[in-house]
Amino acid sequence: MNESIGSIQTAALAQIAAATDVRTLDDARVAVLGKKGTLSLAAAGIKEVPPQEKAAFGQLLNAARTAITAALAEKQAALREQADRAALAGIDLTLPARRVPVGSLHPLTLIRDQAIGILRRMGFALADGPEIEDEFHCFDALNTPADHPARNEKDTFYFDSGKLLRTHTSSVQIRTMESQPPPLRIIAPGSAYRRDEIDATHLSAFNQLEGLYVDREVSLPDLKGTLEYFFREMFGTSTEVRFRPHFFPFTEPSFEIDVKLQIKGQTPRWIEVAGCGMVDPAVFESLSQSRKDQAYDPEQVTGFAFGMGLDRLAMIRWGIKDIRLLIENDVRFLKQFA
């Protein structure tokens, strides 16, 4: 009996040693330790062992099981290491890691966020309004008469309902003043739409940033100082800024703002970047009617407003010659801003 345990152990250890993979190793385990394995069957034979030999037989059995279990574990570890090494064969772990493409912000997003950042530091809060507007908020409340060319069907996208795609973000001025009393200092970046012929400098959908400041005693120097500061933050502290008299129905006096800049590869020149002016009292009067109060009494409050094209600012900043590049999403173009 004792001898047979010795040979069972020897045979099992040999089978374990000969195993070449996880499968044959498991076969070896089952053959010796399984329910019907050689060692299990031998252990069942303890019933027939004379009582005085039982202890010695038990010890022998345990020793054999311990040795076999240890051999199995050792072989399993060796096989695993072998498999790991095989899996890595031919892989050069010293090669630099492959670059993961992470994307980058769109130039318009960069410009918009920079503009918002500058104006927020000056106390302007973000405001918002619908892109599908009515004529009242886009034109009438902004003192724009019915026969103004901007209201023409040729220039504006109208829906059958009579609503329209806002032609400028100035409608947000009205929406904000309807819902909030002064003092008010807001900016509203967003899309605007015009039926323009599409070319290198025009798209039918473009991006503006509107600003409005209303309080007691807001004056023209406030407007000038704010926007001069803004464009110098935007384009460099020594940038020259000029205000050219202009006309908008909703501001009086009105100006267009030019900055003197050198676009990449060109000689420095004056470039128009924004419209602005002091809020026309007629706009405040219209608000008194729609709000049914005197919060915007033109005798009490004054204000300034401005609007700029963000696409334009991006084109100036990076010397982009064709506005269509901003909407084509060509990765070769976009990755230059990463």
Binding site for ligand PHE (CB under 6 A): 168, 170, 248, 251, 275-277, 305-307
Nearer to ligand PHE, 16 or 184 (CB): 184
For the CB of residue 250, give the shortest distance to ligand PHE in the complex, in Å: 6
| CA dist., res. 101 & res. 93, Å (int) | 21
Nearer to ligand PHE, 37 or 303 (CB): 303
Nearer to ligand PHE, 276 or 310 (CB): 276
Q: Taking each helix axis as running N to C, give the angle between helix 220-235 and helix 310-318, from 0 to 180 degrees, rounded to the nearest 10.
A: 40
For the CB of residue 279, give the shortest distance to ligand PHE in the complex, in Å: 8
Closest residue to ligand PHE, judged by C-beta, is 307
| CA dist., res. 312 & res. 330, Å (int) | 19
For the CB of residue 120, give the shortest distance to ligand PHE in the complex, in Å: 19
Nearer to ligand PHE, 19 or 271 (CB): 271
Nearer to ligand PHE, 170 or 286 (CB): 170
For 90, counting Cβ atoms within 10 Å of its Cβ (0-12 exposed, 13-18 middle, 19+ buried), the class is exposed
Nearer to ligand PHE, 284 or 306 (CB): 306
| CA dist., res. 145 & res. 175, Å (int) | 19
Nearer to ligand PHE, 9 or 170 (CB): 170
What lies within 8 Å, CB to CB, of 192 at 6+ separation is 165, 166, 167, 168, 169, 205, 206, 207, 208
Q: Taking each helix axis as running N to C, give the angle between helix 220-235 and helix 107-121, from 0 to 180 degrees, rounded to the nearest 10.
A: 140
Q: Check: CB of residue 34 under 8 Å from CB of residue 40.
A: yes
Q: Bridge partners of 208? A: 190, 309
For the CB of residue 91, give the shortest distance to ligand PHE in the complex, in Å: 60
For the CB of residue 226, give the shortest distance to ligand PHE in the complex, in Å: 13
For the CB of residue 142, give the shortest distance to ligand PHE in the complex, in Å: 8
| CA dist., res. 214 & res. 186, Å (int) | 9
333 vs 315, 318, 323, 338, CA distance in Å? 13, 11, 12, 10
For the CB of residue 199, give the shortest distance to ligand PHE in the complex, in Å: 18
